[in-house]
Amino acid sequence: MKLKLSKTTRINFLTYAVVIVAFVVFQSLSSAGALSSTLKGQLVPICAYVVMALSLNLTVGVLGELSLGHAGFVSVGAFAGAVASAALTTVIPIPALRLAVSMVIGAIFAAIAGVLIGIPVLRLRGDYLAIVTLAFGEIIKSLITNFYIGIDGEGLHFSFLSNKLSLGEGGRMILNGPMGIPGITRISTFAAGFILTMIALIVIFNLVNSRSGRAIMALRDNRIAAESVGINVTKYKMMAFVTSAALAGAAGCLFSLGQNTILPSKFDFNTSILILVFVVLGGQGRMLGSIIAAAALTILPEVLREFADYRMLVYAIVLILVMLITNNPTISGFFARLFRRQKGDET
């Protein structure tokens, strides 16, 4: 019996399979106690980075616009989600449910930010668009740095620029301006990270393979041609951009609820660049690549601890070498020939 599957469907199923296998393997290793504390502690952040990379790949790879401010959306999701989780502690005592609700809230806030930012940004092109996303990322960071949220019996209290809150009996500060959220109850789990990764993949693949997805890719490949056949540029660009922002927000929430503390300054330009590196290294538009690159590059600095002082130097060299090698025509040509020969043998 021969299943007739298109190439994209096969790749999509391969991606799902890799994620599921990776989850099962690491989950069982983890419960068997075979993982080092370092790797165990990184499982949730890896999932968060994977989803961040996937969401950025939607903007960079599928929509074809360079974004240098993706950390801004992650930040909105991270803080909205963490505040929601802290506020809902008594309302929803079950951690898993609270995590899910927080993620949805994080995603909604990030999506709102995506709409607000997308309207002006998507009118620009190329490097100008990139710099405006960078600017928005910095603005979000700067605003959250000046935001104070406290909670007491009456509910949430907000303050901007300076902490003027007077909280009632039993109240406490949740978001403390530049000090971020110092006491987060960790409720993110590896399983939740896995589920979020799967959801992100399902959303992205369904979007890409839909009529809308084809319209988005048509815009990427040739905007003028796409426009001339009646594709609504703003609508489809916004669709991709906002979906990307929402997924980034959910990833941010997963990340923040897996940490003890998060600071607004964590989600700066360097973090945006880091996520972009995952996407470019894994390949634009290739989701499996993003997943592997995000996981590998998150683990890499920890593995390089043996190099001590030379750790980040080695990391930089590895990054440059990987970029040089993957883009070297001789080497990729060699592998291309190799693969072709193998395929020839099979038939």
Our finding on whether 95 is near other proteins (CB under 8 A) is no
Our finding on whether 281 is near other proteins (CB under 8 A) is yes
Dihedral sign from CA coordinates of 16, 213, 244, 93: negative
Our finding on whether 306 is near other proteins (CB under 8 A) is yes
Q: Tell which one of 266, 267, 275, 287 touches other proteins (CB under 8 A).
A: 266
Pick between residue 42 and residue 244 the one whose CB is nearest to other proteins. Answer: 42
Per DSSP, the three-state class of 256 is helix
Q: How far is the CB of 131 from other proteins (least distance, A)?
A: 4
Our finding on whether 46 is near other proteins (CB under 8 A) is no
State the DSSP code for 229. T
Q: How far is the CB of 264 from other proteins (least distance, A)?
A: 7
Our finding on whether 224 is near other proteins (CB under 8 A) is yes
Distance of CA 166 to the CA centre of its chain: 36
Q: How far is the CB of 185 from other proteins (least distance, A)?
A: 10
- Give the separation between CA 311 and CA 305, rounded to whole angstroms: 6
Q: Tell which one of 4, 93, 211, 335 touches other proteins (CB under 8 A).
A: 335
**Residues in 129-168 at the binding interface with other proteins, rule: CB under 8 A:** 131-132, 134-136, 138-139, 141-143, 145-146, 150, 161, 163, 165-167
Our finding on whether 124 is near other proteins (CB under 8 A) is yes
Kindly list the distances between the CA atom of residue 154 and the CA atoms of 91, 171, 172, 191, in Å, as whole numbers in the listed order.
Answer: 14, 9, 12, 34
Pick between residue 211 and residue 341 the one whose CB is nearest to other proteins. Answer: 341
Our finding on whether 280 is near other proteins (CB under 8 A) is yes
Our finding on whether 50 is near other proteins (CB under 8 A) is no
Kindly list the distances between the CA atom of residue 134 and the CA atoms of 52, 130, 264, in Å, as whole numbers in the listed order.
Answer: 16, 6, 15
Pairing between strand 155-160 and 147-152? Answer: antiparallel
Pick between residue 1 and residue 161 the one whose CB is nearest to other proteins. Answer: 161
- Give the separation between CA 300 and CA 322, rounded to whole angstroms: 13
Our finding on whether 252 is near other proteins (CB under 8 A) is no
- Give the separation between CA 331 and CA 336, rounded to whole angstroms: 9
Strand partners, 147: 160
Q: How far is the CB of 308 from other proteins (least distance, A)?
A: 4
**Residues in 198-217 at the binding interface with other proteins, rule: CB under 8 A:** none
Our finding on whether 283 is near other proteins (CB under 8 A) is yes
Kindly list the distances between the CA atom of residue 261 and the CA atoms of 69, 95, 256, 266, 321, in Å, as whole numbers in the listed order.
Answer: 22, 18, 7, 10, 34
